[in-house]
Amino acid sequence: MKLTVPARLAAASLAAVALAGCSYVNPITTHKNYSASDGTQLVVGDVSALNLILITEDSGSPATLIGTLVNDTDEDIALDISIDGETTTSVTLEADSTVKLGPEGDDTEVSGTATAAPGHIVDVAFVANTTDVESVEVPVLDGTLPEYAETLAAIG
């Protein structure tokens, strides 16, 4: 059986629509930003806060925030961070720079008192250049996982 030219065009058009329908009905998730590790992330103003985790022994104990702050702009950005609603740490991110948060070595320490026990989440507040205000729910972890044991031991 031979197909005519219009029938071939109709079949080709139908096949193209059918094959393209998958991406029309289901959103392409590879274009969405997500946390690929234990932590969470947020964007406040022009600052990206990546892989944020609060490390502590227990609720009411000293705690420190670990993660990375990224400033992709050509201007310095002042950032205030509070993990307990009382203690605020000010961090200056230089233009086009990355700052690692944590209690070790050259890291910038953002510390305070844990308001939740490990296994829970806490709200961490960020204020960029005194105008952009955001908060994010951050997971609370302890030294049970070996990769966080040294960080927990370094909290002073």
> Is residue 55 included in any domain, yes or no?
yes
Mean pLDDT score across all residues of the chain: 87
Q: Where does the pLDDT of residue 2 fall: very low under 50, low under 70, confident under 90, or very high at 90 and above? A: low
> Is residue 63 included in any domain, yes or no?
yes
**Proportion of the chain above pLDDT 70, given as a percent:** 86
Position 20 pLDDT exceeds 80: no
* 45 token code pair: 């103003």
> Is residue 58 included in any domain, yes or no?
yes
> Is residue 135 included in any domain, yes or no?
yes
Distance CA 156, CA 145 (A): 19
Q: How many domains does the chain have?
A: 1
Q: Where does the pLDDT of residue 22 fall: very low under 50, low under 70, confident under 90, or very high at 90 and above? A: low
Weakest-pLDDT range from 17-21, 40-44, 78-82, 108-112: 17-21
Question: Whose CA is closest to 128, among 42, 13, 57?
Answer: 42
**Domain hosting residue 96, numbered range:** 40-154
Tens-place pLDDT, residues 115-153 = 999 999 999 999 998 888 889 999 999 988 888 888 888
Q: Where does the pLDDT of residue 21 fall: very low under 50, low under 70, confident under 90, or very high at 90 and above? A: low
Residue 29 gets the label, from left (phi > 0), alpha (psi -120 to 50) or beta, of alpha
**Proportion of the chain above pLDDT 90, given as a percent:** 56
> Is residue 26 included in any domain, yes or no?
no
Weakest-pLDDT range from 20-29, 46-55, 68-77: 20-29
* 84 token code pair: 């307990």
> Is residue 18 included in any domain, yes or no?
no
Residue 137: what pLDDT?
94
Rounded mean pLDDT, 59-74: 94
Distance CA 50, CA 44 (A): 11
Residue 6: what pLDDT?
79
Rounded mean pLDDT, 77-101: 93
Distance CA 120, CA 94 (A): 33
> Is residue 80 included in any domain, yes or no?
yes
Distance CA 10, CA 124 (A): 57
> Is residue 24 included in any domain, yes or no?
no
What CATH code is carried by the domain that includes residue 93? 2.60.40
